[in-house]
Amino acid sequence: MTVLLSLRGLHKAYRGDAAPFALDVPAFDLAEGEALALAGPSGSGKSTLLMMLALATPPDAAEEFTFAGQDITRHWRAGRRDALAELRARCIGVVPQTGGLLPFLTVEGNIALTQRIADRPDAARVRALADELGIRAQLGKRPAALSVGQRQRVSIARALAHRPSLVLADEPTASVHPELADAVLALLKRECAAAGAALLVATHDPDRAARAGYPVLVCETHAPGADGIARSVFARAPLAEAA
C-alpha cells in the first residue's frame, strides 16, 4: 500500500467554544484508496484536523506533513498559497457539512465546478456520477429547489467529479434525517471505493460509521490540566514501520 498522507508530531492550538484547546497528532498515516472515520465528541478538533488536511489552515507545528508526495509544511512556511490551492484543486474533494453549493449555478454547474477549477472538464463523468447518486433528473435545477438529501448527494458528486485522490467529509450526516444518514455514509464509501479515492469522514457517531463498514479512529480527549488547556489526540499506528 502506498502512503497518501503522513503526519508526525503535528500540533495545533486554538480557542474552542469555551476553553483554550490543543490538538495533537503524534502519528497518522492514510493509504491511497483507504476509508477511515474520525470520531470524537463535538469540539474535539475533528473539523480542525480536517481543515488542516484540506490544506485550508496551517498547523502550528509539524515534524512531518506530506500529502501526495509534497511537503505541506514547507508550502505553508513559504506562503505558497497558490501551490496549496493548486493541490486542493487537483487532489482533494470536500463535502462540507451542509453541502456548500453555489446558489447561482445549476446542479450540473455545481458538480462540474471542481472539474473547471482543476481544468479537467468531463461532462460524461458528471452525468455518470449523477446517475450513480440518483440526481440525474435534478441536473438542470438550482440547489434551492432540492431537498437536503439531494443537496448532500450533489456535494458528494462534486467532491468526486475531478477524480481527487482524497475526499474529506465533515459531518456529512449532521443535517440529514437519521435514516438518510446511513445511506449517505454508505454512498460516500461506495463512490470513493469506485473512484479509488481515499476517504476521511469526521463524525460524532462512531457506531453509525462502524455500521456503514468504516474503520473508526476515536480521538482521546483529556480534560483541562494544570495549564487549563483541553487536549485532544488523534493517534494511529504508522502504516509502514519498516519504511
DSSP 120-153: ---HHHHHHHHHHTT-GGGTTS-GGGS-HHHHHH
Residue 169 or 239: which CB sits closer to other proteins?
Answer: 169
CA distance 13 to 200: 22
CB of 94 to other proteins, least distance (A): 6
Between helices 123-132 and 107-118, what is the axis angle to 10°? 130
Please report, to the nearest 10 degrees, the dihedral formed by the alpha carbons of residues 204, 205, 209, 214 taken in order: 50
CB of 104 to other proteins, least distance (A): 3
Q: Cell 483507504 identifies what position?
A: 34
CA distance 44 to 59: 16
Q: Cell 451542509 identifies what position?
A: 98
Residue 73 or 114: which CB sits closer to other proteins?
Answer: 114
CB of 167 to other proteins, least distance (A): 13
CB of 154 to other proteins, least distance (A): 13
Question: Is 95 within 8 Å of 156 (Cβ atoms)?
Answer: yes
Residue 102 or 137: which CB sits closer to other proteins?
Answer: 102
Residue 94 or 239: which CB sits closer to other proteins?
Answer: 94
Residue 82 or 227: which CB sits closer to other proteins?
Answer: 82
Residue 118 or 212: which CB sits closer to other proteins?
Answer: 118
CB of 155 to other proteins, least distance (A): 11
Question: Is 51 within 8 Å of 60 (Cβ atoms)?
Answer: no
CB of 135 to other proteins, least distance (A): 19
Give percent helix, percent strand, percent coil of the chain, each to the nearest 5: 35, 25, 35
The residues that touch other proteins, with contacts defined as CB under 8 A, are: 47, 50-51, 54, 56-57, 81-82, 85-90, 92, 94, 96-98, 100, 102-105, 109, 113-114, 117-118, 142, 170
- The strands making up 198-203's β-sheet, listed across from edge to edge, are 92-95, 166-170, 198-203, 35-39, 216-218
